[in-house]
């Protein structure tokens, strides 16, 4: 798979997507990187620690978050995307589900679209992704937790997102799937654990898988720890993701997760 100017071996490797939240209210790192100089330094640090993609988000998706205006979100992400493209040789993903934001980000140089609604919130996002010929990550999401068979329905929901993508003209080689771990993404605590534990079901759909669990509440509840003390729990999910074939993990703590990936792959390759 090609993202930006880089090729990714999604069959044999697992890559780090480093999180850059340019928001004042993200659950874990709100306010830390919404200054352009701090953001530049953080991107440099993440690249040095092993990030292969930088994911830029301008609106918090934490439980109970307040949706901001499109104009405000564009003002947050576009300068940061331009700064990254001017200063670093690394693919940039835009974390948004709104077409006006995605369009502005792609025009600013973003190389990938990361849509937490899997193209179901705003269908024009799929059209823009096809128009700019960039890859996309389609995340599973619902506005409720009413499932008769959670795992089956999660996969079916993702297949529907894939159909939206293909109908818009996005080729198979530009599609990544994400199970959407998070209490704000239509899943209970138990369902989040199931989603992590059954990533192989997403692989069976036929696309690379991205796992995004970093510092999330499912880890906090399992360990009874606040968001700034969830590194070890995140690392465990990363190891499980590698074992189950994830091609990408989206994380805050790049160094620790990169080392975990390398160690896990070293063991698995000696089977």
Kind plus residue range of the DSSP H or E element containing 2: strand 2-3
Query: For 32-88, what is each residue's pLDDT tens digit?
Result: 546 899 999 999 999 999 999 999 999 977 666 578 899 999 999 999 999 999 999
| Residue 2 is assigned to a structural domain of this protein | no
| Residue 195 is assigned to a structural domain of this protein | yes
| Residue 1 is assigned to a structural domain of this protein | no
Q: Is the pTM of this model over 0.85?
A: yes
> Can you give the CATH number for the domain in which 107 is found?
3.20.20.20
**Does residue 63 or residue 96 have the better pLDDT?**
96
Sequence-distant (6+) residues with CB within 8 A of 247 are 1, 8, 10, 11, 13, 14, 15, 176, 208, 209, 210
Whole-number average pLDDT of the chain: 94
Query: What is the residue range of 205's domain?
Result: 10-268
What pLDDT was estimated at residue 32?
A: 56
| Residue 44 is assigned to a structural domain of this protein | yes
Is residue 27's pLDDT more than 60? Answer: no
Task: Tell me how many domains the chain contains.
Answer: 1
Catalytic residues: 216, 250
Distance CA 186, CA 47 (A): 32
| Residue 5 is assigned to a structural domain of this protein | no
User: Quick one: which of 87, 86, 84, 126 has its CA closest to 103?
Assistant: 126
What pLDDT was estimated at residue 30?
A: 45
Distance CA 89, CA 115 (A): 23
| Residue 3 is assigned to a structural domain of this protein | no
């Amino acid at each position: 798979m090609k993202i930006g100017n880089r090729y990714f071996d999604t069959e044999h490797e697992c890559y780090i997507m480093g999180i850059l939240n340019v928001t004042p209210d993200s659950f874990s790192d709100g306010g830390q990187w919404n200054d352009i100089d701090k953001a530049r330094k953080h991107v440099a640090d993440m690249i040095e620690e092993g990030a292969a993609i930088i994911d830029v988000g301008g609106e918090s998706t934490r439980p109970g978050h307040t949706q901001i205006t499109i104009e405000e979100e564009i003002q947050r992400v576009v300068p940061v995307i331009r700064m990254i493209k001017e200063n670093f040789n690394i693919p940039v993903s835009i974390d948004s589900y709104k077409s006006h934001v995605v369009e502005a980000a792609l025009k600013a140089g973003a190389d990938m679209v990361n849509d937490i609604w899997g193209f179901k919130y705003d269908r024009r996002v799929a059209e823009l992704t096809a128009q700019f010929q960039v890859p996309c990550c389609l995340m599973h999401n619902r506005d409720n937790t009413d499932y008769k068979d959670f795992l089956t329905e999660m996969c079916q929901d993702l297949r529907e997102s894939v159909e939206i993508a293909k109908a818009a003209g996005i080729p198979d080689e530009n599609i990544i799937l994400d199970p959407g771990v998070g209490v704000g993404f239509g899943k209970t605590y138990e369902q989040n654990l199931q989603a992590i534990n059954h990533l192989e079901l997403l692989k069976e759909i036929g696309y690379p898988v991205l796992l995004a669990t970093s510092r999330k509440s499912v880890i906090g509840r399992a360990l009874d720890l606040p968001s700034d003390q969830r590194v070890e729990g995140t690392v465990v999910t990363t190891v499980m993701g590698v074992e189950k074939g994830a091609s990408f993990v989206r994380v805050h703590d790049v160094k620790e997760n990169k080392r975990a990936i390398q160690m896990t792959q070293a063991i698995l390759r000696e089977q």
